[in-house]
Chain A
């Protein structure tokens, strides 16, 4: 009955799905020897974006849309230790101009969630994650690229208070390291300097969120605010396209609902970027189908 994670396809960094946002960020666990498979479809679009701090539209892009399909599986190793694996297929398109849409399998992510403390409704969790690209997609044809192709490692602390009434409050913060990437060209301009190499260093990222919701029996409903921000990076130059080194930042508000009366359930999420830097002001939604599997042997 318990759905142990959700699938998040948060708004876009100019169309690029944030891998770390695909990870679970709740205080719910699959019991030992059970697993949940979720398959979700997400779509996220923007018409306006922040070129550095300038909010603008681009008549040669029109509306930019990122769609994705992601299977994800969460498994209870013990009641206090869960493992979550996901792999999205992503496609991009622009409604105007002539930039070719991109599509392909993006990054495989693996998350481990551990309950460190649980007493009187208050719990504390340590979450670690890693992701790696599984296909040879082009990371620097932004905003059409399906991802940034970096390997990432994330550390997250999450605190949760669950009241008997079903109301809960969750807060978490994370830091992600991002590896250097290789691009097809062997020279590029970033940070106001010419680099004569095909290696590109990406800034690391942080995120933080607060969620308030209701969780009882088959129903979960939640409202949230999230902040994603690179710790450094450069800005999109005037009238230029984005580049993986950009300092991408955004604040997202959204809502999430889940209904799973039996082994099969549904979830849905909407999210909207309220402000940002070097990202699109996207509105996104996703819907998912959930299947619980019991009596697994590990």
Chain B
């Protein structure tokens, strides 16, 4: 009997040991840094939406010797003395950088909302309703074009607001609290960057304004993030409240101007399904024998058929038509049969390396999509290079506008030619089939555009980014949802799109 008890105790101990075993996963560590350069001249860099860095006025702050400022410093010391371990965790989180974190938050929201609506009992797919964002289906369906646009406006708002902030920082030149009073204890590294208005508050307010418009069901969540982002600057002794409130006002005003531009960019008409009949007619005239057809049951209307008419950032519509890829191989050509043969071979015997690549780059439903993937790559490269907030935002704005331009130009191409997916010729897929025409590959266009811009900003990593773009492009052949020609032409197209963003960056007064 004793042995039985022993065994039972052993079993219970085993269970406890396993139930308490470590379930935390390792994620990259992101510590705060002093920027490699403060980019003090950024106040005159060219903005996207603001007509000038002073379009939104910010009042001159009280001087460091004023009674008001001294009272703020005294109150700040009290605030710092009462912070909790939870506050410290938040300080560490936001210390990685405001632009960096808000980009990450936007990617997370993109992933959460990246789910195609389910069909209802009548076999129809209800369209998400912005006025009722949490009903089923939720608004938005954050598909790749939607995410490319949300992240582009986010990055542009951050950049324009920061250029303006840098202008006021250098103009008013009010030092950081701890530089004015050494008795202010700080929990993050302090640079010589003037602290009025707070760059973190500027980014938080501008980002918040864009994100509540793009993800209207997330207002309570974003309220919490906004308050925390601003509070950590006080808890960490980095800013006084007047730095924060000036930054908040500037960020909100710039964000509102950027969103006003977004409202008129043509996105509202991007899902105009009435256009598809004419598009199919056009494709047939061009020689497309089997136009694209939804492979889902019930047939799902194609994703944003009119996204190609949305306003571009770095080139005009005439230039977009000029660089539109030429017609792909037609069905009865040998070249087309060769592309199909390559896919049939993979369909029969996909290697594990092929499926690995297809999975790594899939970025399908429930992910932040290829534009999110490349924003992450850009943010991490800028983080590793210890970029200032404004240079980080410039990087993301250049990459982000190139990605949105890539989405628009690629969607224009897709619906111009309206070509069939390989699944219309009996192929399976190991990654899931997107519900829109095949040619050209969105992944290839997005990836090539982003890699081209990143290669220009980080020349030493250019080959690495190009290799990633090529792998992302190949992944769509390996996953069996694109023909080789879709990917090759998408890559070439994306490079041209990226070059426009590079030209914009070369002319923005940064000298970078």
Chain A residues with CB under 8 Å of chain B are: 59-60, 96-101, 114, 116-117, 124, 126, 128, 136, 138, 140-141, 153, 155-157, 175-177, 180, 183-189, 192-197, 199-201, 204, 231, 237-241, 243
Contacts and interface: CB of A to CB of B under 8 A. Distances in A.
B137 interface: yes
A1 B24 CA distance: 49
Contacts of B428: 98-101
A200 B10 contact: no
Contacts of A126: 7-8, 10-11
A43 B19 CA distance: 32
B441 to A, nearest CB: 17
B270 interface: no
Given A194-B108, A199-B25, A238 B18 contact: no
Contacts of A200: 25
Given A116-B7, A155-B14, 7 more contacts: A100-B347, A100-B350, A155-B18, A177-B17, A192-B112, A195-B25, A197-B27
B11 A155 contact: yes
A97 B138 CA distance: 24
A154 to B, nearest CB: 9
Interface in B109-136: 111-112, 115-119, 136
A197 B4 contact: no
Contacts of B423: 98
A141 B359 contact: yes
Contacts of B8: 126, 157
Contacts of A193: 108
Given A98-B433, A99-B432, A100-B428, A176 B25 contact: no
Contacts of B266: none
Interface in B341-385: 347, 350, 352, 355-356, 359-360, 362-363, 365-368, 373, 376
A196 B26 contact: no
Contacts of B115: 237-240
A189 B356 CA distance: 18
A86 B479 CA distance: 32
Contacts of B360: 184-186
B429 A238 contact: no
Contacts, number: 136
Nearest to B431: A141
A141 B430 contact: yes
Given A96-B297, A98-B427, A231-B19, A116 B25 contact: no
B117 A187 contact: no
Contact of A239 (B1, B118, B350): B118
A206 to B, nearest CB: 9
A175 B19 contact: yes
A114 B360 CA distance: 44
A138 B107 CA distance: 25
B144 to A, nearest CB: 15
B118 A136 contact: no
Nearest to A152: B18
Given A99-B429, A116-B4, A189-B366, A194 B111 contact: yes
A56 B248 CA distance: 47
Contact of B24 (A192, A201, A204): A201
Nearest to A177: B18
A60 B26 contact: no
26 contacts: A59-B297, A59-B298, A97-B297, A99-B429, A100-B480, A116-B3, A117-B1, A117-B3, A124-B4, A140-B359, A157-B8, A175-B14, A177-B18, A180-B25, A184-B359, A184-B360, A185-B360, A185-B367, A187-B373, A189-B366, A194-B107, A194-B111, A204-B18, A238-B136, A239-B118, A241-B432
B15 interface: yes
Contacts of A199: 25-26
A270 to B, nearest CB: 30
Interface of A is mostly: loop
Interface string B132-161: 000011100000000000000000000000
A157 B363 CA distance: 43
Contacts of A124: 4
Contacts of B368: 187, 194
B23 interface: yes
Nearest to A100: B428
B86 interface: no
Given A98-B295, A116-B7, A184 B356 contact: yes
B355 A184 contact: yes
A176 B18 contact: yes
B21 interface: yes
A176 B15 CA distance: 8
B28 interface: yes
B332 interface: no
B296 interface: yes
B344 to A, nearest CB: 13
A117 B4 contact: yes
Interface string B160-172: 0000000000000
A240 B137 contact: no
Contacts of B23: 180, 201
Contacts of B18: 153, 155, 175-177, 204
B19 A177 contact: yes
A241 B10 CA distance: 39
B365 A240 contact: yes
Nearest to B296: A60
Nearest to A98: B423
Nearest to B433: A98
Interface string B252-268: 00000000000000000
A196 B350 CA distance: 27
B366 A197 contact: no
Contacts of A243: 366
Which among A175, A177, A193, A194 has the highest number of chain B CB atoms within 10 Å?
Answer: A194
Nearest to B111: A189
Nearest to A141: B430
Which of B4, B8, B295, B428 gathers most chain A CB within 10 Å? B428
Nearest to B16: A175
Nearest to B8: A157
B25 A189 contact: no
Contacts of B350: 100
Contacts of B296: 59-60, 97
Contact of B367 (A116, A157, A188): A188
Given A189-B111, A193-B108, A240-B365, A177 B25 contact: no
B28 A196 contact: yes
Contacts of A97: 295-297
B25 A197 contact: yes
A184 B116 CA distance: 23
Nearest to B423: A98
B301 to A, nearest CB: 15
Contact of A187 (B1, B118, B376): B376
Interface in B472-487: 480
A59 B18 CA distance: 39
Contacts of A96: 297
Most B-side CB within 10 Å, residue of A98, A116, A124, A241 = A98
Contact of A138 (B27, B112, B136, B355): B355
